[in-house]
Amino acid sequence: MKVLSGLSLEQLENFMEEFGVTKFRAKQVHNWIYFKSVSNIDEMTNLSKEFREELKTKAIITETKIKVKQVSSDGTIKYLIEYPDGECVETVLMRFDNRANLTACVSSQVGCAVNCSFCATGKRGFIRNLSFVEIIEQVLTIQRDTGLKVTNIVFMGQGEPLLNLTNVLKAIEIFNNDFQIGARRITISTSGIIPKINELAEKELQSTLAISLHAPNHKLRAEIMPIENKYPIDELKKALLNYVEKTGRRITVEYILINNFNDTTEVAKELGYLLKDLKCNINLIPYNSTSNDKFKKSSNNNIMKFKYLLEHSGKKVTVRLERGADIDAACGQLKGKVDNVL
């Protein structure tokens, strides 16, 4: 059986040649997959019944299943998605009131090898990379289930996207060409894999690079992110400056706020100084609790003070809205295991 999800228009045309139908039929099927996102071939109502029957004998739309779906009181939806080999990842759909955007937070790997101490995904270790089809299937699954069209993508689910860069770039190409989601509506978040940041800098990608910094110096960062020992912050900063110079794009600095750890006045000033000459916006993420908690979320007072101090250093600073915390769908809470959701 041919799986239709993930096929480009050209591939669909080639596949449909054997049915002896016109190229226009492939265009219609493409539209049913990426825009209307139907779940079965019978729903492709502008194709003749005979052709649908014939197609059904040779093709299916997807092999991906929704294992669990949870809806948060704020409208966020979290899916546990199962691939044919039985591995699962989580995908989150976020809607923001008063904005038309529908943002899918997609996973790039099953588990993650980077093992940041504040993140639930890292606790599982690395299981495997997702293929580009498995990545785009997450967005198709959301569209098929909700009947809505996703407008923005963030690679902020499980996994380190830059350690699966080939599949991530191929998925972005499909998001651009087949879903018609512009590169500027796509964000890749990384813990700081320097050689891959350099590689990305050479490509003319218009997507936003977000960097999970979380601390302004080596000592503090190494306490929560083991990757700091491999790719230290001084080198990382050089890579980021190079990235901005090569691409001209402003980057996003993500910064988790952990109570009395990295949210003090001194640390805010040090961070402001570090980022002074870097073209970036700063996104503060109040720490979300995970099981096995030794950290606490910063107090509102500390969050506001931290934001104020950074703004004073001339940066645009936003505080990330917490989405879906009641269903463990917020940043860092994705485990991708069945026992996480039952």
Residue 28 DSSP one-character state: H
Is 270 an annotated catalytic residue?
no
Task: Give the whole-angstrom CA distance, residue 277 versus residue 216.
Answer: 14
> Minimal distance in Å, beta carbon 249 to ligand SAH?
17
Q: Is there binding between residue 83 and ligand SAH (CB under 6 A)?
A: no
Which region among 96-104, 131-139, 197-205, 281-289 touches ligand SAH (by CB under 6 A)? 281-289
Among 140, 150, 331, 341, binds ligand SAH (CB under 6 A): 331
Q: How far is CA 338 from CA 235, 273, 335, 341, in A?
A: 38, 43, 9, 6
The catalytic residue among 88, 105, 119, 331 is 331
The site partner of 122 among ligand SAH, ligand SF4, none (C-beta below 5 to 8 Å per kind) is ligand SF4
User: What are residue 39's phi and psi, to 5 degrees?
Assistant: -95, -25
Q: Choose, by CB under 6 A, the member of 38, 142, 153, 285 that binds ligand SAH.
A: 285
Q: How far apart are CA 305 and CA 311, in angstroms?
A: 10
| Least distance (Å) between residue 266 CB and ligand SAH | 22
Among 186, 92, 197, smallest CA distance to 146 is for: 92
Would you count residue 209 as binding ligand SAH (CB under 6 A)? no
User: Is 112 considered catalytic here?
Assistant: no
- Listed ranges 23-31, 86-94, 155-163, 215-223: which one lies at the site for ligand SF4 (CB under 6 A): 155-163
DSSP conformational letter for 20: T
Which uninterrupted H or E stretch holds 224? helix 218-224
Kindly list the distances between the CA atom of residue 315 and the CA atoms of 253, 268, 282, in Å, as whole numbers in the listed order.
11, 12, 7
Query: Could you tell me the smallest distance in angstroms from the CB atom of residue 119 to ligand SF4?
Result: 3
Looking at beta carbons only, is 30 or 323 nearer to ligand SAH?
A: 323
Query: 144 or 335: whose CB is closer to ligand SAH?
Result: 335
Residues 182-201 that bind ligand SAH (CB under 6 A): 189-191
Q: Under a CB-based contact definition with an 8 Å cutoff, are residues 23 and 15 in contact?
A: no
Phi, psi of 209 (to 5 degrees): -95, 125
Binding site for ligand SF4 (CB under 6 A): 112, 114-116, 119, 121-122, 158-160, 191, 212
Active site residues: 90, 331
